[in-house]
Structures are given as structure tokens and as C-alpha cells.
Structure 1
Amino acid sequence: MYKNLAKIIREASSVYANEPAFGIKRTGKVFETRSFQETYEMATNLGYALLNLGIQPGERIAIIADNRYEWILADLAIMMVGACDVPRGADVSDFDITYILNHAEVKTIFVENRKVLELVQKNQANLPLLEKIILLESSNALPNHCFNLYDLIEKGKEYRKLRPNEMDEKINSIQENDLFTIIYTSGTTGQPKGVMLTHKNIVSQLEFMPIAISPADRVVSILPIWHIFERVFEMIALSKGCCTYYSSIRTLKDDLKIVKPTFMASAPRLWESIYAGILANLEKASLSKRILFNTAYFFAEQFHGSLQSIRRKTLRLKRENLSIQLVQGFFDILICLFSAFPFFLLDRLILKKVRDVTGGKLRGSVSGGGALPYHVDLFFNHIGIPVLEGYGMTETSPVIAVRTLDDLVIGTVGPIFKGTEIRIVSLETQKVIYPGKNGYAKKGEIHVRGPQVMKGYYNDEVATKKIINDGWLNTGDLGIMTFNHCLKIVGRSKETIVLLSGENVEPTPIESKLVQSPLIDSVIVVGQDQKFLSALIVPNTEMFLEYGKDLPTIAAHPKTKEILLQEVKKLISAQTGFKSFERVIEIRILPKAFELGDELTPKLSVKRNVVQNKYKEIIDDIYKSN
């Protein structure tokens, strides 16, 4: 395989020339397609226009836009000229614009529409390096130093005639360690970090992808295109000759039926939403239909469960005795045989209609960006929609581990990605647990080394050294290696909370804001792999003496929670600078203060893991009914 992405895309445009590469939603329910050759030609012409504007190899160029065909044209053109893009979604804030563009030393920026253009112009006084703005949508009467993408494509055609071989020379000169992109993490501590990913990083993801994708596949793009997970998936689709159809949350339900995708990248929230929709429709159905569905699902559960057990693809956290395996295998075979006929019959009559919600042709979906709830995971895999949960992070381009159709162990994120090394390190002793003779099913911190590990954080050597040591990247996640050689994620050692939507939230700024209240003594924010944030609060007893003389009594009084919840919502809001996903939706009042040597370190910092383990039942209760 080629060592730079531009060569891979150039080759694909030749091999799959007239095949559809992208589907663009037009009026009504019609998708208009663009071929590989057409896409490559447009990107090449845009690349020539960038060269004519003076863009240099290695220069950072921002793209502030959401999923659309013009995004990929800009991305490919920047890549082909040897520059490095700095992507972000169209929902950027003033802070995002000024901090990221200045930190990355951006001189040229692509913007999606007039709204984003106006945001950039509003902050232009604080963007001393910015020289050129390119608008992705058609527009008249552009201000000075602004260009329209399609106008540039036309101008690029003319420049290409003068130097027809220049683009190939640029592509051939790109080295594997040259920067492909800088993606800024969406931290809330004030200063996001720029993750530097090279051509080598992304090529490794294409080269070792264990899931077969072919020109016969149809892929729906729904996740934010500037996130590395969706972006790598689109590069895989381009390199393998299959067509990507751009959709949106608003139109996804209809688009799935129109496109009938065979594969897609997804997030846990999508499957939760579809699952909730199926259950809601089931509740409205007649008693006979509910009985039929439940019967169909029962036999699907028995058939698939026993088949997975026979294939040794059920979660194994203990070393199993051979005689027990043989007995279990005998019963599994019986269950599989007796459930096979009713399963296949009811699958064709009932479950097929459920699969039609996703178009009826989906042979798999890779889910990333957060943990897939176990019951949702089971449900879709049992009804015949394989959800292949994966694990990774922006700093690893992103995949570290992923399930495949052959290694689909529910409850895990699958085997380790080819070419990747992992070690699991004890938090207590800092010794390596895995790999090792007795390292299976033991919890520790996950470290990873491989060709997908980032080059570092842009202009931040201190932060880079904190996370990478001797080539090993500390993920901050806790995991165990199962006896079927699959990785299971069990928590986080770092403080970052990843919500079910995939949003990263730093709890410290939220907690710092909350403890400013005279009503709150201590607080810890929770919500890992959940839909929303919650807070465990130790109230300041002096402020609640009318509700009790001691903390347990005050904590149990309903008025305490009512007052504190109002206080929390007042402090953590848009008016105080917090984003929607950073809002604290629910709280619980703790009956015991944090103590030194227990919940507190000698420096009086809260031991987050200790608090979460101690109050696990309370945390589980918060999310049980939500």
C-alpha cells in the first residue's frame, strides 16, 4: 500500500473511475451521485487554485463545516498539495475560532456558509494571521479576500493547463510522516489540544482494517465528518471503491430506506434512538403483535446465544474447565437445533420488518465514540443487525480495537487492531499486568503503541510528554483482556467523561464552578457513557440547618435537593459559558462528607475512582430510569 493518502486516492480514482463515490441529497428523496473520477478532478482543480493562491506544503488550512460534498473536495485538495487541514464543525464558538486558528497559525480557512463567515468576520480583529476565506456554498457579493469554492475550481482548471504535471509532483513528494490533519480536542479547560496525525497514521488504519469493504457496499455518513472516526471511515470507503451517502439526523430515517446501506459508522446514541423507537412502536401495537415479536425475539436470543457459545464467542472472564465446556457445548447444540426452525420462520415473518428500519440490507455497523449499552448491543445483534463496537481515541487515529463479524464478542470492543501493541498497567503498582502469563481478566490502565499513535500535540511538548512515553500512549482508560483475546473497557483512570453522544467533557471546570456556591461543600460530576451529566453533592450544612442538625438528616430532606438542583442549573448554563452537553441534569445528595485518607488525597483532591466505586449504587440509580 502507498505511504501517503493522496497516492491512495489518486489510484482509487483511476481504478473506480466511473463508479459513484458520493451521494448528495437533492430536493425530494433523490440522491445525486458524483463519480470517483469527477470527485478527483474537482479536487485536483481546487488544489491547483490553492497553489495559485500561494499555499505551501505543511501549511495549516482550517475547514469549518459540517458533512457535505464540498467538505471532502476541500479536504482532498488540501491533502494533495501537501498542506495540513485543521477541521471543526459549523457549531464553533467565538473561543474555538480565535484560539484554534491562532494556535495552528492558520492563514486560509474554508467556511461552510454565510453564518460561519459572519462569525469569522466578527472575530477577524483577533485573527492577525488570517488572509483568505473560502466559502463552500455559492454566494454573490463576497467581501475582500473571500473566494467561492466553485469559482476557485474553475480558476484551477486554467492554472492546471499551464503546469499539468505539478499536482502529481506534489502528491509524489508527500512523505509518510508529513502532517495530514490537526484535530483539536473539545476540552472545557480553556485550551483544547491539537492532535497531530500523519499520513502514516491514517494509512495504517486503511491497511489493517479487518472488516471487508468492497465497491458493492453503500455507506451512509451521519457522524460529524471532522471527527477522526467518520473521517477515516470515509477514507476507507474512497480507497475501497464504495459510495458514501451524506445524511443528517433529521433525514436519516428516510435516507436509510432510500439508500439501503450495507455498512455505516455509528455512535451508541443512534442505536439507542432506534431501539427506543422500536419499543415505542411495540407498545402501541396490538397484544397479538407484541406476543409475536416477543416470541420471535426469544427464539432469536436462544439461537444466536447458543451459536455464539458453540463458536466460543461469548464473553469469557474466567479460565474454563474442559469438562464444563463439553457439557455446556452439548446443551448449546441442543438449544441451537431446537430453536433453529422457529427462529428462521419468525425471523422471516417478524424480525425482517424490524431490520427494514435500517433499510434491510445492513450487514454491519461499527459503533464508536462511547460505550454501547449492553442491552442495546444484545438486541441488535440478536435481531440480525451486527453492531461491531470499536475502541479508540483521536490520538490513535482512532482505532485500537474493533469487533469483526468473525470476532463478535458482545460486551467487548473486540481483538486488538493489527500492528498494534497494548499493555495493561496496574494503577496500584504501575507494573505491566498484560501481556503476561496471568494477565487475563485483570483490570488496569490501557497503554498503546503502534503506527496509529499521533505525532504529538501541536506546539505543546509538555502535554505530549505527559501522554506518550517511549512510544507508549497512555489512553487513560481502564480495561481487561478477556480469555477470548478481546479487550473489554471497564472505566477511566483519567478525569475526562465521555458521554453516550461521544462528547468529551472535562468535569473539573464544572466542579470548580459549583463549589463556588456557598450551598455546596464538595461535588463530583459523573456521567461516563451516559446521556447526560449528574452530580454527587455534599451540601454545606451551615446553609441548611433548618432542614436538620446533621448531614444525613439534611441530605434526606427533599427541600435540600430541590434548592441545590436550582443552584446547579443556575451555575452551569449557557449564560455562565457552558455548552449544552456540559449541563448537569440530575443530582444526588451524599450523607457523608469527603474525608482525608478516604475520598481525599493529602493535597485534598477528590479521589474520583474511590467516590464512584463507593457510591456506585447511587450513580446507577440516577440513570436507571433515564
Structure 2
Amino acid sequence: MKTLADLFQSSKNKYGNLPAFLTKNQSGEFDPVSYSEIYEFGLQLGTALIELEFPQKGHAAVLADNRLEWIITDYAVIMAGGADVPRGTDVTDSDLNHILPHSGATIVFAENDTVLKKLYQNPNSIQNIHTIILMDKNAKGTGKELKFWDLVQRGKELRDNGNRSIEDRISKIKEEDLFTLIYTAGTTGRPKGVPLTHKNIMSQINRIPIRLQAGERILSILPVWHSFERMFEMVCIYFGAGTYYSSVRTLKEDLKRVKPTFMASAPRLWESVYQGIYATVSKSSIVKQKLFHAALFFSSNIQSAKRWLSFRELDMTGRNFIYSFLVGIFKSIQYILNIIPAALLDLIVLNKIRQATGGKLKGTVSGGGALPSHVDKFFNAIGIQVLEGYGLTETSPVISVRILDQAVIGTVGPLYKETSLRIVDPNTSKILWTTEEGGPKAYSVKGEIHVKGDQVMSGYYHDDENTRKVMQGDWFNTGDLGMMTFNNCLKIVGRTKETIVLLGGENVEPVPIENILSQSEFILQCMVVGQDQKYLSALIVPNPEFFPEYKPGIGFSSAEEEARCAAKIQGVIRNSISATNGFKSFERVVDFRLLPKPFETGDELTAKLSVKRHVVTDKYSGLISDIYSDKKEEVLR
């Protein structure tokens, strides 16, 4: 299969009456739509779009969250030969005013009246839009918009009368054509458009290393317009699985109701489940607590032994045969001694914990940020396989992912099939490790990750300047730091680029936040941190002109003076990074630390006075660890 249109038709022919997508009705029950039905809905809506003069290779914006109408729209736009420009209902005014004109969209699908109101409050965003389509049946609109299901019915009437315009469009789709144009999330007002082709996405689907079975139940909770969830839904279509649209708010109930067998997820979800389990255990009787910890102990020993004996234990040093053999003997004895108590306690304790996920969950792919090691090991120990992956929107998105027979905890797995990779020294551009034949193979050496393959975009949409920053021929510079382990798995160890990905998968551009903070007379320099954490924090250099007690290289001479400075800076943060200034809740700076000296050229700063984020992160790793050691949950008020 070369295009998504091929995929949609193939799945309809293979899985016809199987449930493809399931959404909740007013009673809270899931209503199924089969593969045959979703395909027909797509043809009908696509036919109506063609009547509305939606052109081949045209762009249609879709401003909606996970729902049946979303996936029907996706089918329709793609089969009509176009590309969608997706965004959630939380789209900001600045996003609308940039994305809609920049993308060249001529049609907008709006989920409800709230989204419609945003559009009309930003008239410049819709100056090139000739049609607005309301998805929600209960949306009132203004009378100028078209209704989604009316268009589906119109398309059905056209097809009943012999209209086959969409089949003609399908026949003209090429693998080089765009199927989507996703704008990276950010706060700069100028998010970058990532154009992904049918070839990009089909390279992911055709080479998927994880196998699903027709009829499997998949719970969907991540935003469908994000590239990770989008790709995973296409994989589900490929295998004939049923996707249940849920949300974080109803996840607990839906896990028990749906009893999913597999799902895509973000690290924050599993940390939340982890914390919930421990909170429940802490409220239990002493006997139940001891049983829980005993079960975890024995199961962890069993899993550790299995990893070692199957060569799936993280190897950063290239262990020699004698050492591996001796440890192997110990692990074999460990396995034998722990197997019986582990099995009994699994039946008594851990099986009940797994029931909280429905009891049928075989595994989950986690993406959008790093999975905390303790959470990773915990779920592995209780019998839920979390397969961590790595990628970016620009790579459609997967570069590497753990697979069941190569699930090395602490890594993001082996490279995706037919993916080329280089580990490059960010300072000298020297290649340290590469998949290229005859190239260097320096294992466990940190460098910048560059990738090449069919999943990589050709460049940002109508943005040569940003394209030049990341593309070197066919090679894409991810801006992430990583290394190849001796297990031939990729390990992510940091970032050189600016975007911060929080534990919940939210993408934050720190520069606008830093620019706002640096406007304060009390702050000389600052750097926002928070990669793979729940919230943002900041490292701040006070301005000595306003705090004469602050001595560069020493800091404050007294705790009282430091506290006075901290109080003023806390006030700056509270007043500057707020909802009234256009910042979202996850963009707020929750905590900060004062640094003992300013950033200097040649050390923390480049010749252009740009902050070397990875250098600052390494230098002040202790301070950053201290910020997040208390698991602080509240935000500054």
C-alpha cells in the first residue's frame, strides 16, 4: 500500500463489519461504527466537499478533539485528494491568526459553538476561508455555517445518483502528496508547519514492528491531531482494531468498561496511575501493604532475571563474556528461588492491580516524553508491558520503539526499520556513531541525534529559514542528545534544541517565557527547565544592580537577602507568566532557583550570546534535581 486511501479501502474490504471507531452516546455507552460504515461516511462527506469546490491537494483545517466526526473528516479530506490542518479545541487566537492563513486552508471544520466564536473573534484568520462546517449536532451556529451531517447526507444523495467524483480523486493521489499539515505547538505565535506525505506515514505503517490482531480493543485518550496518536490510529486501521474514543477525565471508568488490550499513552498517564496505586496501598492495612511490597519485590526479581538471561538488561559498558556468565548464574538462581512466591503473590495481589486497567491490557506504547525509570520498572514488574518510543512530528513520528523481544528498560528501543541514524558531537560535528556502512560505532557516547529515512519530512511548510536550521540534505537534526547502547538500542539523554516536552506530552517553547521574565529589572538572565517533568521551573541570575548583596561567583552573603530577592522574583513570575498574558496553565513557571553567577560567553553562552541549554542543564543538574525532588504539585498563585 502506498497511500492512506489504499489503506482505508483495504481495511474496509478486510474488516468490513468489525467495529472501527466507537464513541459514547448520551447514556455513556460506546456506539460502534464499522470499517464499512466509516469508509462510506468518508466517501459521502468527501463527495460533498468536492461539490463545494474543495480542490485536489487542497487544505482543510480541522479544529476539534477526539470524536467520530474527526475521523470521518480525516477520511473525507484525504480521499478527496487533500490534506487536513488539525488542531484541538484549545487553539489560541495567535495560533488561528497564523495557522489558517499560512496553511492556505479554504475550509474549516469547527467542533462546536465555542470554536466558532474564536474564529469570528479573529476575522483575519478566516479571510481566505469560504466554508465553515460545524461538527457537533447540537451546535447552534449563526446560520451561515454548514452542518456536518447535512453534508454527509448530501454526499450520500450525490453518490446514490451516480456521482463518482471522489473515486476519480482517489485514483490521482500520489505517495508524494501531503495527507496532513501539522503545526508544532508553541507560544511564539509562529508555530512551524510540518508537511507529512502519504509516503511518510505509510513507511511507518508498513514497517510497524508491533503486531495487533483484528478486533482488538484500543483506548484512545491522546489528542488525535498529535502525530503520535494519529499514526497509532492509522496502525489500528491497518490491523482492524477497534478504537474507543475516551478522555483522561473518564479514563478510570473506561478502562474497566472497555477492557482494552492495547493503547497509546503519554508518560504522565502512567505516572498518575502509579501514584494512584501507591496512594491506595498507603491507605490499606499493614498486612495488605506488606503483601503489596512483597509481591513487587519477588516480581521485580523475576523480571530482572528474565531481562538479564534474555540479553535485555541495559548495557552501557560492553560487558565481557565471563562477567555476563557469572551474573547469568546468579540470575538463574534468583529466578528459581523467586518463581513460586512471585507466582502466588501475583495471583493474590498484582492480578487485582491489573484489573484496574480492565485486566486485558497486554501493553502500551508510551511517547511524547521520557518515561520515568521507576514508573517504567514498576509496570514491567506488575505485568504491564510499557513500550517506550521516541520520535518527533517531523519524523511522522517514530524513530525508534521498544519491541517485546528487545524491550530494554532505560532505552527507547531499536531503530525503526530502514531508518538511518547518526550520533554527532554538537560542538565539533564529528560523527560518533552511525548506521552507515563502515562508519564509526562509538557506543555509549553522547551526541546529537540526526536521522534520515522515509518518515522524515522534506522541510517546514513555506519556511526556508527554519528548514535550514534542521535539515542537512536528507538528514534531520532532532536537537536531542542520545547514544547507542551495547544492546543496539537508542537512549535519550538530553536536548540541544529549545522545545521542552513536559511529562504530559505538552510542547513548550521556553524562549517567549524567558523573554518576558528577562524584561524585569530584577532578572539579569534566566533559563526555563522542565524536560520530562510535570511542570516548568526556571534558573535565574539576579541583576546585581538591584541586589548589591549578590556577588557573581558567590551569590548572596545572607539567607535574609536571598529570601528578599526570591520574593521579588516570585512576584515577577506570578504577574508575568499568567493566563491574562496569554499563557496556558502548563506554560506557567511553578518554581525557580537563583544561580551563583551569570552565564558567560564560551561557557554557558555561544558567541552569539545564545544559551547553551545542554551545558547549563549539565552544570546545574543538582539544582534542577532539587527543584523536582519534593514532587511539588501546586502552581504559583
TM-score, length-scaled by structure 2? 0.95
For 1:108 and 1:335, the matched residues in 2 are separated by 63
For 1:220 and 1:354, the matched residues in 2 are separated by 18
For 2:136 and 2:35, the matched residues in 1 are separated by 21
Q: Secondary structure at the match of 2:201?
A: helix
2:35 maps to 36
Residue 457 of structure 1: how far off its partner (Å):
1.2
Given that residues 198 and 455 in structure 1 are in contact (C-alpha distance below 8 angstroms), is that contact kept between their aligned partners in structure 2? no
2:476 maps to 473
Candidates 615, 620, 626, aligned match of 1:615: 620
Q: Does 1:528 align with 2:527?
A: no
For 2:187 and 2:94, the matched residues in 1 are separated by 11
The code of the aligned residue for 1:491 comes to: G
Residue 166 of structure 1: how far off its partner (Å):
2.9
1:256 maps to 255
For 1:305 and 1:59, the matched residues in 2 are separated by 53
Given that residues 96 and 125 in structure 2 are in contact (C-alpha distance below 8 angstroms), is that contact kept between their aligned partners in structure 1? no
Q: Deviations over 1:393-452 (max 9, x none)?
A: 000000000001111100000000001111111123211111245411111110110110
Residue 45 of structure 1: how far off its partner (Å):
0.7
1:212 maps to 211
Q: Does 1:585 align with 2:584?
A: no
Q: Deviations over 1:368-404 (max 9, x none)?
A: 0000000000000111000000000000000000001
The code of the aligned residue for 1:551 comes to: G
**Map of 1:390-469 to 2, 5 A cutoff?**
390-435=389-434, 436-469=439-472
Q: Which moved more, 1:187-196 or 1:60-69?
A: 187-196
Given that residues 134 and 148 in structure 1 are in contact (C-alpha distance below 8 angstroms), is that contact kept between their aligned partners in structure 2? yes
**Map of 1:134-149 to 2, 5 A cutoff?**
134-139=133-138, 142-143=141-142, 145-149=144-148
Q: Secondary structure at the match of 2:368?
A: coil
Q: CA separation of 1:411/1:144 partners in 2, compared to 1, >3 Å: closer, same or farther? A: same
Q: CA separation of 1:573/1:554 partners in 2, compared to 1, >3 Å: closer, same or farther? A: farther
1:568 maps to 573
2:556 maps to 552
**Map of 1:149-188 to 2, 5 A cutoff?**
149-188=148-187
For 1:508 and 1:267, the matched residues in 2 are separated by 24
Q: Which moved more, 1:454-463 or 1:78-87?
A: 454-463
For 1:538 and 1:141, the matched residues in 2 are separated by 52
2:635 maps to none
**Map of 1:485-524 to 2, 5 A cutoff?**
485-524=488-527
The code of the aligned residue for 1:474 comes to: N
Q: CA separation of 1:355/1:329 partners in 2, compared to 1, >3 Å: closer, same or farther? A: same
Given that residues 131 and 145 in structure 2 are in contact (C-alpha distance below 8 angstroms), is that contact kept between their aligned partners in structure 1? yes
Q: Secondary structure at the match of 1:250?
A: helix
For 2:28 and 2:224, the matched residues in 1 are separated by 22
Given that residues 296 and 346 in structure 1 are in contact (C-alpha distance below 8 angstroms), is that contact kept between their aligned partners in structure 2? yes
Give structure 2 stretches of 5+ with no counterpart: 632-637
Q: CA separation of 1:442/1:546 partners in 2, compared to 1, >3 Å: closer, same or farther? A: closer
TM-score, length-scaled by structure 1? 0.97
Residue 476 of structure 1: how far off its partner (Å):
0.4
For 1:396 and 1:605, the matched residues in 2 are separated by 26
For 1:507 and 1:382, the matched residues in 2 are separated by 36
Q: Secondary structure at the match of 2:557?
A: helix
Q: Deviations over 1:221-271 (max 9, x none)?
A: 000000010011111111211100000111110000000000000000000
Residue 29 of structure 1: how far off its partner (Å):
4.2
For 1:546 and 1:605, the matched residues in 2 are separated by 27
Residue 610 of structure 1: how far off its partner (Å):
2.1
Residue 546 of structure 1: how far off its partner (Å):
7.0
Q: Does 1:538 align with 2:541?
A: yes
Given that residues 547 and 554 in structure 1 are in contact (C-alpha distance below 8 angstroms), is that contact kept between their aligned partners in structure 2? no
Q: Does 1:605 align with 2:604?
A: no
Residue 162 of structure 1: how far off its partner (Å):
3.4
For 2:350 and 2:445, the matched residues in 1 are separated by 38
For 2:114 and 2:17, the matched residues in 1 are separated by 35
Q: Which moved more, 1:488-497 or 1:457-466?
A: 457-466
The code of the aligned residue for 1:325 comes to: S
Given that residues 420 and 448 in structure 1 are in contact (C-alpha distance below 8 angstroms), is that contact kept between their aligned partners in structure 2? yes
Residue 142 of structure 1: how far off its partner (Å):
4.4
For 1:126 and 1:275, the matched residues in 2 are separated by 42
2:634 maps to none
Given that residues 8 and 239 in structure 1 are in contact (C-alpha distance below 8 angstroms), is that contact kept between their aligned partners in structure 2? yes
Give structure 1 stretches of 5+ with no counterpart: none
The code of the aligned residue for 1:514 comes to: L
Q: CA separation of 1:183/1:125 partners in 2, compared to 1, >3 Å: closer, same or farther? A: closer
Q: Secondary structure at the match of 2:556?
A: helix
Residue 182 of structure 1: how far off its partner (Å):
0.1
Given that residues 95 and 190 in structure 2 are in contact (C-alpha distance below 8 angstroms), is that contact kept between their aligned partners in structure 1? no
The code of the aligned residue for 1:442 comes to: V
Given that residues 548 and 554 in structure 1 are in contact (C-alpha distance below 8 angstroms), is that contact kept between their aligned partners in structure 2? no
**Identity among equivalent pairs (%):** 51
Q: CA separation of 1:385/1:279 partners in 2, compared to 1, >3 Å: closer, same or farther? A: same
Residue 582 of structure 1: how far off its partner (Å):
1.5
Given that residues 554 and 560 in structure 1 are in contact (C-alpha distance below 8 angstroms), is that contact kept between their aligned partners in structure 2? no
Given that residues 7 and 172 in structure 1 are in contact (C-alpha distance below 8 angstroms), is that contact kept between their aligned partners in structure 2? no
Given that residues 62 and 110 in structure 2 are in contact (C-alpha distance below 8 angstroms), is that contact kept between their aligned partners in structure 1? yes
Q: CA separation of 1:125/1:447 partners in 2, compared to 1, >3 Å: closer, same or farther? A: closer
Residue 576 of structure 1: how far off its partner (Å):
2.1
Given that residues 43 and 77 in structure 1 are in contact (C-alpha distance below 8 angstroms), is that contact kept between their aligned partners in structure 2? yes
For 2:150 and 2:549, the matched residues in 1 are separated by 70
Given that residues 179 and 197 in structure 1 are in contact (C-alpha distance below 8 angstroms), is that contact kept between their aligned partners in structure 2? yes
For 1:424 and 1:243, the matched residues in 2 are separated by 38
2:348 maps to 349
Residue 577 of structure 1: how far off its partner (Å):
2.4
Q: CA separation of 1:126/1:320 partners in 2, compared to 1, >3 Å: closer, same or farther? A: closer
For 1:546 and 1:201, the matched residues in 2 are separated by 57
Given that residues 223 and 266 in structure 1 are in contact (C-alpha distance below 8 angstroms), is that contact kept between their aligned partners in structure 2? yes
Q: Which moved more, 1:158-167 or 1:236-245?
A: 158-167
The code of the aligned residue for 2:406 comes to: D
For 1:376 and 1:176, the matched residues in 2 are separated by 40
**Map of 1:231-246 to 2, 5 A cutoff?**
231-246=230-245
1:367 maps to 366
For 2:130 and 2:481, the matched residues in 1 are separated by 45
Q: Which moved more, 1:457-466 or 1:510-519?
A: 457-466
Given that residues 549 and 556 in structure 2 are in contact (C-alpha distance below 8 angstroms), is that contact kept between their aligned partners in structure 1? no
Residue 461 of structure 1: how far off its partner (Å):
2.1
Q: Secondary structure at the match of 2:219?
A: strand
Given that residues 113 and 139 in structure 2 are in contact (C-alpha distance below 8 angstroms), is that contact kept between their aligned partners in structure 1? no
For 1:269 and 1:141, the matched residues in 2 are separated by 36
Q: Which moved more, 1:348-357 or 1:570-579?
A: 570-579
2:199 maps to 200
For 1:529 and 1:111, the matched residues in 2 are separated by 32
Residue 189 of structure 1: how far off its partner (Å):
2.4
Residue 164 of structure 1: how far off its partner (Å):
4.3
Q: Which moved more, 1:557-566 or 1:36-45?
A: 557-566
Task: State how many pairs are aligned.
Answer: 625
For 2:556 and 2:441, the matched residues in 1 are separated by 44
For 1:316 and 1:128, the matched residues in 2 are separated by 57
Q: CA separation of 1:459/1:163 partners in 2, compared to 1, >3 Å: closer, same or farther? A: farther
1:290 maps to 289
Residue 295 of structure 1: how far off its partner (Å):
0.3
Q: CA separation of 1:458/1:606 partners in 2, compared to 1, >3 Å: closer, same or farther? A: closer
Q: Secondary structure at the match of 2:405?
A: coil
For 1:602 and 1:428, the matched residues in 2 are separated by 13
